[in-house]
Amino acid sequence: MFVDQIRIQAKAGNGGDGCVSFRREKFVPKGGPDGGDGGKGGDIVLRTDIHKDNLVDFYYQPILRAKRGAHGLGKNMYGKAGADSIYKVPVGTVVYRIPPQKLEPMLTEDDRGPAPTKVRIDPADCQLVADLTEKDQDFILCRGGAGGKGNTHFKSSRNRVPRQYTEGESGEDGFFLLELRTIADAGLVGYPNAGKSTLLSKISAAHPKIAPYPFTTLNPMIGVVEFPGYARASVADIPGLVDGAHRNVGLGHDFLRHIVRCKLLVFVLDAAGSEGRAPLADLGSLRRELGLYDPKLSERPWMIVANKMDLPGAEENLRLLQNRFADKAIVPVAAEREDGIAELKDVLGRLLIEELREVPPK
């Protein structure tokens, strides 16, 4: 199961209460107050892990809890602090806080499954809390409550037998939306059956599902491409887009969110038009969909891979692409026969290693 967007509920631990106590010891007159403070509640912490690739753990555990702090004790003994609860998430996880006005319909729905896992909310309606893009990065999602004060804090010359204390504060809580945006150096973008999965399997050691029907790939697949000089880059196979994807037609937003972080866009086109579409029109539609989803994607560096060059009609369409986009890198390949793969890796290496030495786009 692949989960890249999920709704969770988090509740940090409450602080322990302060203690009301007086020193009672043999041969020690006028002992006085000695009530200790309560312990701090545990935090809810999200920690990025490079070995995680999706949010499936939260599908089975959508409610996150941390332990409360212990109450204070006599003899000025502080209560034990509650242990932090650490939950591991993939690198590239975006955290949103769901506003209160969106919570009411969610809490009143009659679901048979765990309600937090059934996402029916747009991230655009939520408040961005954190964008976790580095490995081993910690983010405190909810802070534990502070411990209460014992009666020793309230003693004075006028209040020698204080019976006041404070209760521990409540830990932070709330509903959150976790969204995974795949982090990769390059993203393979194209219509269904353009040959993206086959291409990824030829340039890397990845083994995506390959079949002669559309939408074979339903989840992003990442492969690592090796270059000379021990250099490497990650390439993501983005599931096939369709017209209207920016309006969330089909699985539009589920696919498009994984393109946002790619430094280089690689448009994989069916140069032979074997699906009854013109490659030049396909490229225009794909770039338009990306621009409508996020205008920043229109400014992202990109190149073209003209696939299926072993089929009739591919040479003519390739010339049309070269005439229209003379300033762009266009690599003709026949991925199934591995023709042009070496040249493609050279071009990828040049664009990714030499021209794109920068932090991945957010």
Q: How far is residue 351's CA from residue 260's CA, in Å, rounded to a whole number?
A: 18
Q: Which residue, 156, 180, 204, sits at the end of a domain?
A: 180
- Residue 233 CA to residue 188 CA, distance in Å, equals 13
Model confidence at 113: pLDDT above 80: no
Say how far apart CA 221 and CA 272 lie, in whole Å: 25
Least confident of 66-80, 225-239, 262-276: 225-239
Query: Which residues constitute the domain of residue 327?
Result: 186-355
Q: pLDDT value at position 111?
A: 47
Q: Is the pLDDT of residue 110 over 60?
A: no
pLDDT of the residue at 194: 83
CB atoms within 10 A of CB 220: 25
CA distance 256 to 267: 14
Is residue 328 within 8 Å of 303, Cβ to Cβ?
yes
Q: Which residues pair with 224 in a beta bridge?
A: 234
Q: What is the DSSP string of 34-45?
A: -PPPPPPPPPEE
State whether 36 and 163 are in the same domain: yes
Percent of the chain with pLDDT over 70: 85
Q: What is the pLDDT of residues 29-49, one digit of tens each?
A: 778 899 999 999 999 999 999
Same domain, 137 and 192: no
42 located within any domain = yes
Residue 322 pLDDT class (50, 70, 90 cuts): very high
Return the amino acid letter for 73: L
Last residue in a domain, options 136, 164, 180: 180
Inter-residue contact 254 to 212 (CB < 8 Å): no
User: Rounded mean pLDDT of the chain?
Assistant: 84
- Residue 92 covered by a domain: yes
Residue 218 sits in a domain whose CATH number is 3.40.50.300
Q: Please indicate, yes or no, whether residues 172 and 143 belong to a single structural domain of this protein.
A: yes
Ranges of beta strands (E only) in 255-301 are 264-270
> Is the CB of residue 302 less than 8 Å from the CB of residue 267?
yes
The tens digit of pLDDT for each residue in 151-205 reads 999 999 899 899 999 999 999 999 999 988 888 888 888 888 888 888 888 888 8
Provide mean pLDDT across the span 205-212. Answer: 65
- The answer to which of 10-19, 101-110, 176-185 has the lowest mean pLDDT is 101-110
Torsion of the alpha carbons at 190, 203, 209 and 306, rounded to the nearest 10: 30
Q: Examine residue 360 and state whether it is found in any structural domain, yes or no.
A: no
Return the structure tokens found at 280. 């030049």
CATH number of the domain within which 95 lies: 2.70.210.12
Residues 6 or more apart whose CB falls under 8 angstroms from that of 117 comprise: 6, 7, 58, 59, 62
Of 211, 267, 212, 210, the C-alpha closest to 238 is: 267
- pLDDT reading at 103 higher than 60: yes
pTM assigned to the model: 0.77
Compute the C-alpha angle 185/187/188, nearest 5°.
145
Answer yes or no: is pLDDT of 246 > 60: no
Tokens (6 digits) for 90 = 């993939």
Residue where one domain finishes, among candidates 141, 164, 180: 180
**What is the predicted pLDDT for the residue at 243?**
54
Helix (H) or strand (E) holding 58: helix 56-60
Quick check: 209 pLDDT over 90?
Answer: no
Do 12 and 143 lie in one domain? The reply is yes
* pLDDT for res 226: 87
